[in-house]
């Protein structure tokens, strides 16, 4: 545990030092917890992750939309967030300790039936059952509501809230989407954008934020299509690392690799469409560059599920800082959301299913970007006796190529500048550095995870070649200038390796 914490501190220290993230923000005013700034490298990394996420969903036939981050109060009344996205809090009148009223009652009187009680009824219940403050046995005060949404105002007098999830704002445009999809379901849409949660006590740095970037994909689907989902056939033989709730209940946390079709047959997933979504969530995380060994899919225990959810699986990433970190939820939201918005807006949000008019169901994949971002840095961290480096997969590394003259001599700096411009033009994120010793420059790039460094030396001037160095092995290979950009692009895409390029080349560089 202590070593985990030390590790987290080391990683966070590196992140602050090198410009991945800073905070809590605003630092010069002392900071406000749960708010962080992304530095240049963190923003590059986040952009790379988002672009992988985006192309994964696009490949799965999802279409991207963007909605406002603030919506008027009525939306959140309809969605249930105003009522439901709250904690009923009560305080001890003597010692001031605050408690979740419902949890407290359940704890003290396990048989009490308090599901869905109003705040006043909860307070009544506390009196009735004689529940006292567990800390000092003092009298408990009235039950108050603590809403986790950030409130704001539109114009002079319209109450509004920052969205606590992007999903709801996607549902609000369902009619428009239906037209866009030519009145045919399934319709698959996703959104990447900011969401806000007024966490009571954010902890664990960038893992629990009050403002964060959410990715939420919605599959609008008819009930009959959930069990008969054609795309399932494309992925049925894929293997997934699963931790079903039944295994967890038996006290084990052992992951079993299942073929998707076997997991379905054995009842771990209820429908083909839901299984397909769980697989998609997993593949999105693979596309971000997480290794299979550090990923698992964990099913929620029935007791931890949200009340509306028929089933819930999470994608979790293993870290050295915080153990397994929940990064993504896959939810069957049924037709709760569309049904509520139909009711509150009086708009018809149903579709034709044969002769029937039905409100479609929604399957959702939801995650924040900052968690995978941190997990990636955590997973990438490596050190040995002589250096610290980040082993990012090349395609997500913030800076992809470093370009150096062997020494800061004009005859080497000039060509380096030309190469830098050329590599930059190819779309790769590139950094030119001609100061200090060559070793120091390599180490600087190692520490921010740059996978490849190009060095211009005196042989370069003679035979028009440069060396390319591999971050992880520190090995180098000599490449002819005309081939350089093409090879770098292949290296970054993982379609070539330094080791393979070295084969058949003379040992000297």
Partner RNA sequence: GCGCCCGUUGUCUAGGGGCUAUGAUGGAUCCCUGCCACGGAUCCGGCCCGGGUUCGAGUCCCGGCGGGCGCACCA
| Footprint on this chain of RNA (rule: CB under 7 A) | 1, 5, 9, 12-13, 16-17, 24, 30-34, 84-85, 87, 96-100, 103, 135, 148, 164-165, 197, 199-205, 208, 306-307, 386-388, 406-409, 435-440, 442-444, 447, 455, 457-459, 467, 469, 474-476, 509
Q: Which is nearer to RNA, 293 or 483 (CB)?
A: 483
> Please, what is the minimum distance in Å from the beta carbon of residue 59 to RNA?
26
CA distance 498 to 317: 29
Identify the CA nearest to 8 among candidates 475, 323, 478: 323
Q: Is 468 helix (H, G, I), strand (E, B) or coil?
A: strand
Residue 497 C-beta: closest distance to RNA, Å: 15
At closest approach, how far in Å is the CB of 162 from RNA?
Answer: 12
CB of 217 to RNA, least distance (A): 15
Q: Check: CB of residue 330 under 8 Å from CB of residue 412.
A: no
Smallest separation (angstroms) from RNA to the CB of 194: 13
Q: Which is nearer to RNA, 201 or 250 (CB)?
A: 201
Helices (H) and strands (E) in the chain, counts: 20, 26
CA atoms within a 13 Å half-sphere pointing along the CA-CB vector of 95: 10
Total length of the chain: 509
Please state the closest distance from residue 203 (CB atom) to RNA, in A: 5
Instruction: Select 113 or 472, whichever has its Cβ closest to RNA.
Output: 472
Tell me the pairing of strands 361-368 and 323-334.
antiparallel
CB neighbours of residue 306 within 10 Å: 11
| Token pair of 468 as six digits | 């390319």
Q: Give CA–CA dist 419/442, Å, rounded.
A: 17
Q: Output 225 or 314, the one with its CB closest to RNA.
A: 314
Q: What are the DSSP E strand ranges found in 244-311?
A: 256-259, 295-299
CA–CA separation, 412 and 44 (whole Å): 29
Q: Which is closer to RNA, CB of 129 or CB of 148?
A: 148
Cα separation, 172 vs 362, in Å, equals: 13
Q: What are phi and psi of 182, to 5 degrees?
A: 55, 45
- In whole angstroms, the minimum distance from the beta carbon of 127 to RNA comes to 20
Interatomic CA distance for residues 297 and 61, integer angstroms: 23
CA 392 – CA 506 distance, rounded (Å) = 29
Q: How far is the CB of 357 from RNA (least distance, A)?
A: 28
Closer of 311 and 457 to RNA (Cβ)? 457
Within 10 Å of residue 248's Cβ, how many Cβ atoms?
15
Least gap, CB of 339 to RNA (angstroms): 16
Between 79 and 287, whose beta carbon lies closer to RNA?
79
Measured in degrees and rounded to the nearest 5, phi and psi for residue 74 equal -55, -35
Q: Where are the beta strands (DSSP E) in 420-475?
A: 430-432, 452-456, 465-470
For the CB of residue 219, give the shortest distance to RNA in the complex, in Å: 17
Residue 222 or 399: the one with the smaller Cβ distance to RNA is: 399
Nearer to RNA, 239 or 447 (CB): 447
Strand 21-22 vs strand 430-432: parallel, antiparallel, or unpaired?
unpaired
Residue 271 or 460 having the CB closest to RNA: 460
Which CB atom, from 323 or from 494, has the smaller least distance to RNA?
A: 323
CA angle 179, 180, 185 (to 5 degrees): 75
Cβ contact 392:357 at 8 Å: no
Between the alpha carbon of residue 391 and those of residues 382, 473, 502, the distances in Å are 7, 11, 20
CA-CA-CA-CA torsion sign (17, 23, 25, 30) = negative
Closer Cβ to RNA, 98 or 489, answer by number: 98
The least distance separating RNA from the CB of residue 107, rounded to whole angstroms, comes to 8
How many Cα atoms sit within 13 Å of 48 on the Cβ side? 25
How far apart are CB 368 and RNA at their closest, in Å?
A: 9
């Amino acid at each position: 545990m202590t070593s985990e914490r030390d590790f987290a501190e080391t990683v966070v220290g590196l992140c602050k030092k090198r410009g991945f993230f800073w905070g809590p923000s605003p630092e010069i005013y002392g900071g406000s917890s749960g708010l962080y700034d992304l530095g240049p490298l963190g923003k590059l990394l986040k952009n790379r992750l988002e672009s992988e996420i985006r192309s994964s969903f696009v490949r799965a036939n999802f279409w991207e939309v963007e909605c406002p981050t603030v919506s008027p109060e009525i939306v959140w009344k309809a969605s249930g967030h105003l009522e439901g996205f709250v904690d009923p809090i009560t305080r001890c009148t003597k010692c001031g300790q605050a408690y979740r009223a419902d949890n407290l009652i359940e704890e003290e009187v396990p048989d009490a039936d308090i599901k869905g009680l109003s705040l006043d009824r909860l307070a009544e219940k506390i009196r009735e059952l004689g529940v006292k403050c567990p800390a000092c046995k003092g009298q408990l005060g009235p039950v108050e509501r603590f809403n986790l949404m950030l409130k704001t105002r539109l114009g002079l007098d319209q109450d509004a809230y920052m969205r606590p999830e992007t999903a709801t704002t996607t549902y609000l445009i369902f009619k428009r989407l239906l037209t866009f999809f030519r009145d045919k379901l399934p319709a698959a849409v996703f959104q990447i954008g900011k969401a806000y949660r007024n966490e009571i006590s954010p902890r664990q740095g960038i893992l629990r934020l009050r403002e964060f970037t959410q990715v939420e994909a919605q599959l609008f689907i008819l009930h009959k299509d959930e069990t008969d989902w054609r795309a399932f056939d494309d992925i049925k033989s894929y293997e997934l690392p699963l931790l079903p709730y039944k295994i967890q209940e038996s006290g084990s946390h052992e992951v079993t690799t299942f073929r998707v079709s076997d997991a379905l047959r054995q009842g771990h997933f209820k429908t083909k469409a839901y299984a397909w979504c769980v697989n998609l969530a997993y593949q999105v995380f693979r596309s971000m560059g997480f290794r299979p060994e550090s990923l698992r899919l964990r099913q929620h225990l029935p007791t931890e599920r949200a009340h509306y959810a028929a089933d819930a699986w999470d994608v979790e990433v293993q870290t050295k800082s915080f153990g397994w970190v929940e990064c993504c939820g896959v939810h069957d939201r049924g037709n709760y959301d569309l049904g509520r918005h139909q009711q509150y807006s009086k708009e018809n949000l149903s579709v034709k299913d044969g002769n029937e008019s039905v409100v479609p169901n929604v399957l959702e994949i939801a995650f924040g970007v900052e968690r995978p971002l941190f997990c990636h840095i955590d997973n990438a961290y490596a050190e040995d006796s002589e250096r610290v480096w980040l082993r990012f997969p090349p395609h997500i590394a913030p800076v992809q190529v470093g370009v150096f003259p062997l020494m800061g001599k004009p005859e080497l700096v000039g060509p380096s500048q030309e190469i830098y411009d050329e590599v930059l033009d190819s779309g790769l994120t590139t950094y030119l550095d001609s100061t200090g010793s060559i070793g120091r420059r390599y180490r600087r790039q190692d520490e921010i995870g740059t996978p490849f460094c190009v060095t211009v030396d005196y042989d370069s001037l003679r035979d028009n070649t440069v060396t390319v160095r591999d971050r992880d092995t520190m090995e180098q290979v000599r490449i002819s200038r005309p081939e350089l950009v093409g090879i770098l692009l292949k290296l970054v895409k993982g379609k070539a390796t330094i080791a393979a390029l070295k084969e058949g080349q003379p040992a000297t560089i």
